[in-house]
Chain A
Amino acid sequence: MGSFFRKWWRLLAAVALLFAAIQVYVRPSPALERAEPVRAAGTALFRPFYLAVDFLHQGVSGIWTHYIALVGVTRENERLRREVAALQEKLHENRDAQLENRRLKELLRYSESLERRTVGARVVGHAISPWFQAIFVGTGSEAGVMAGMSVVTPHGAVGRVHQARAGLSEILLVTDGRFAADVMVERSRVRAIAEGIGGNFCRLKYVSPVHDVAVGDRIVFSGFDGSMPKGVLLGTVVSVDRPKESLFQKVKVQCAVNFQDVEDVLVVLSRPSIPFREGRE
């Protein structure tokens, strides 16, 4: 028996750890909360990098615009090109500033219309994982952000705060498979549960075949489950399938927000009315 364990202890350790991982996934243990500071410290390691993303991006594009793009032209052309490039850069900067200004104004207007306390946050990174969908924003617990709070833009819902730390929060996107919330069809007021299915899509669950849902319908959050603000747009119905053998319709919704392009978001600073356990789904 002893020799068996000596021979196969690595494999047994792998199996035991795998079971522990599954156990933690299915039923999170309160004992692991004591190890959260380690996780928080680990997040701090990546924080500077997340925050440096914009800086690096601007730096690289600046080097390209000011140096590499001008190599190999004659002196005269170089002067003219430099002038044009400088003007274009200025124009681009102005346009960027104008766009940012417009975006922030839109956020502010939307924030006022929400009638709830909100805080603006800048998207600083995306989670690297083929299985889970999340983004990171550069505003954390110091601004009052807490797990479970909803995250929106003027164009529609983004998701929910999964974990909030100092200076950084992780947002679970509405397209993640673990996201679910009560929604309704804006036109016919039919209620359903929206669930993320990856890509830029969600599906509606429990829509009876007798209910009126059509392609092009706008889907908004009902607010009944307390997880997302009422009336916030989730997206538009892109397909409705009514299989004869099924009890429910298959409704696919394209999210209103493109999560790859979103730059600024609003975190609604009100606790969800349903208790939300941080970092667990």
Chain B
Amino acid sequence: MRHFLALLSLSYLGAAFCVWWLSGYVPWFLLPDFPFLAIVFAGLFVPGISGFLCVLPPAVFREITASAPSWSMFLGSLALYFATREVGRRLFLRTEPHLLSVVVSLLLAESLSIVLLLHLAGVRPFTLLWGAQEAVRIAWTSLVGVPLFLDLASRWRRVQE
């Protein structure tokens, strides 16, 4: 329940503040993707069915706040969760560099797959400048994500102890 509430508030407040900041304050590439981080955290640190339940609100928030075709972002987010679970079970080591590489790889994989999908659908709005901005977004989200994950994980461990 604690995890559920923590990730629910992280993703809701994160998404809501991003919506606010984006309204003329901060460019999109400087806004960390908080719902994405909540999904990855649930995949890496929250075991079992509770992890899956924790993922549902951030996945819905991503579906609402990204203007993608209906339900594609939600299903994509669930796919991201299961991929993260697999990474967490087989590859993940609890050190900062590994955590950073996992978050960067997942962000990169998601971004590339959407770009590829849009490209195959005939949509080509992506320029070199967009690529650079997306790289900044990925780097920034990962840098925010790692300390956040470590902090949340250690707090959770303390609560359990």
Question: Which residue numbers of A lie inside 8 Å of B, CB to CB?
Answer: 8, 10-11, 13-18, 20-22, 24-26, 28, 32, 35-36, 38-39, 42-43, 45-46, 49-50, 53, 56, 123, 125-134, 162, 170, 172, 175-178, 196-199, 260-261, 279-281
Contact = CB atoms under 8 A, between A and B. Distances in A.
B78 A17 contact: yes
A237 B88 CA distance: 50
A178 B75 contact: no
The 6 lowest CB-CB distance pairs between A and B, nearest first, are A177-B123, A134-B67, A177-B125, A17-B79, A14-B82, A129-B66
25 contacts: A8-B86, A10-B83, A11-B82, A11-B83, A11-B86, A13-B82, A14-B81, A18-B75, A18-B76, A20-B79, A21-B71, A24-B71, A25-B121, A32-B70, A39-B71, A42-B61, A43-B64, A53-B23, A125-B20, A127-B65, A128-B19, A128-B65, A129-B65, A130-B133, A177-B118
Given A131-B118, A198-B127, A24 B83 contact: no
Given A39-B64, A49-B20, A281 B75 contact: no
Interface string B3-36: 0000000001001101110111000110101000
Contacts of B66: 127-129, 131-132
A14 B79 contact: yes
Interface residues of B, number: 54
Given A8-B86, A25-B69, A131-B111, 14 more contacts: A11-B86, A18-B76, A18-B113, A21-B75, A22-B117, A25-B121, A28-B69, A28-B70, A39-B70, A42-B64, A46-B64, A126-B23, A130-B130, A279-B69
A20 B75 contact: yes
A46 B19 CA distance: 9
Interface string B37-56: 00000000000000000000
Contact of A17 (B31, B82, B127): B82
Chain B, interface SS category: helix
B71 A260 contact: no
Contacts of B15: 46, 128
A107 to B, nearest CB: 20
B123 A178 contact: yes
A149 B31 CA distance: 30
A128 B137 CA distance: 12
B47 to A, nearest CB: 12
A21 B60 contact: no
Interface of B: 12, 15-16, 18-20, 22-24, 28-29, 31, 33, 60-61, 63-73, 75-76, 78-83, 85-86, 89, 111, 113-115, 117-118, 121, 123-127, 129-130, 133-134, 137
A160 B13 CA distance: 28
Nearest to A198: B125
B23 A130 contact: no
B24 A26 contact: no
A36 B19 contact: no
B72 A24 contact: yes
A36 B73 CA distance: 14
A203 to B, nearest CB: 9
Contact of A128 (B31, B82, B85): B31
A45 B12 contact: yes
Contact of B127 (A16, A199, A260, A280): A199
Chain B CB count within 10 A is highest, among A28, A36, A127, for: A127
Nearest to A38: B60
A143 B10 CA distance: 34
B15 to A, nearest CB: 7
